[in-house]
Structure 1
Amino acid sequence: MDSTRPGDRSLAVTVDARLTARVPGYVLGLIAVPTADVAREARATDALLTAAEDRLHAERLGKADVSALPTIAAWRDAYRITGVNPNRFPCAAESVLRRVARGDRLPRINALVDLCNATSLDLRLPVASCDVGDIAGELSVRPADGTETFLPLGAPDRPERPDPGEIVYADSAGRAHSRRWNWRQGDMVRTDVGRHRLLLTAESAHAQGRADVERALGALADALDGLGVKAEPPLVLDRSAPSAVLFG
């Protein structure tokens, strides 16, 4: 039996070549946070999220305008290429942008999730915080084989099986931690209040998306530093550099 605590184990993150063969411009940015005390709220992150919402409200974008944003249009194309209808299953960034564009504000979840939502609104990219304290070995963005187990957010007692070929974040234990790429996050990796080992992600599928991912990572890193959260240096994965070891 492995007596090493999950938080002490390294994690290899990989972008599968089958994915980048179909979506060659896919870029995945990563920030590993070995330990973070996640607060229910923080004045700084609430201010960032409010400011991002206000900027989007001022643009007065309609639903079609959001779908036509270059970063979002590229995700819609990537979803179609990988067999997903983006009208039924919009990427995570399109979902939050649509909600705020119609005049709403996002619910405040906790300081880290609010930070990711603020960055997502500003950069128009999918940005997420994942609790990876129970994941070791490998986490891969890859086509599902259909045998993985996905625990829906808020309903872990109703497990699902991803469709074969569906893009998921999957670990070496056969667990899927997302559905339809970044459309929905799994319950196991949700970020709650308290002390956690986290992986922050920012993704792009549009041309020259690496620069926007790097901007997102820079904004996240600066905000984490302001919150007193110690993180590893940001890393970027793409077709030419598809893997990295974190928490080493």
Structure 2
Amino acid sequence: MTLEADKAPVQTSFADIDTWVFDLDNTLYPPHCDLWPKIDDRMTVFMADMLGLDGMSTRALQKYYYRQHGTTLRGLIDEYDIDPTKFLQFVHDIDRTSVEPDLDLHAAIAALPGRKLIFTNGSREHALRTSERLGIEKLFDDVFDIAAAEFVPKPDARAYDLFFARHAIVPGRAVMFEDIARNLIIPKQREMTTILVVPKAGDMDHREGWEIVRDPPAHVDFVTDNLAVFLAALVAELA
């Protein structure tokens, strides 16, 4: 179901929601901020330096690890037992000045009843620095990052189970916002309400081709290309 700007996405189940879970990259900030390509390029540089490969070979291997292991980092841990801290520090050392405060998003998240959490395959520092640029960092109760998930990334079920346990989440009373459809499979199986956040028509789309779904799969309850509008409509109906 695609959300229209003037149509509230409320179901009866939203009235019982007490936990709102947000992915970070390309979910809380729009793709035109261009942060993900910067991180993606840093991964390539890290791997090229580490393995001594040319750029094209490194890129291909990086994308293979991402698809097969959930993240490039997980692939490097499994194959080379690398230090994840050094990797995360390097790839998240980027310019974030393209991210500007989002007053509408701040107002919409602040108005949600219950807890708000960030659940990211990135690092805690990256989530905090990026949400600070958006002006929303103080709205979240916590950040559950890849280290908290013991470096097991979404979409692996173990990552979600660690997340649920850490925060005593009742999935049937929680909502998850994500830009990658496969990362919503386990949440839906656990009875969370799922929302896929996609780029606006004509905007940049930094997802891999195989990640882009033309029609919402059964495990996606809602699709929106404007998170702030979606949340504002939802809050208005809950009021």
Greater fraction helix: 2
Calculate the TM-score normalised by the size of structure 1.
0.31
Greater fraction strand: 1
Calculate the TM-score normalised by the size of structure 2.
0.31
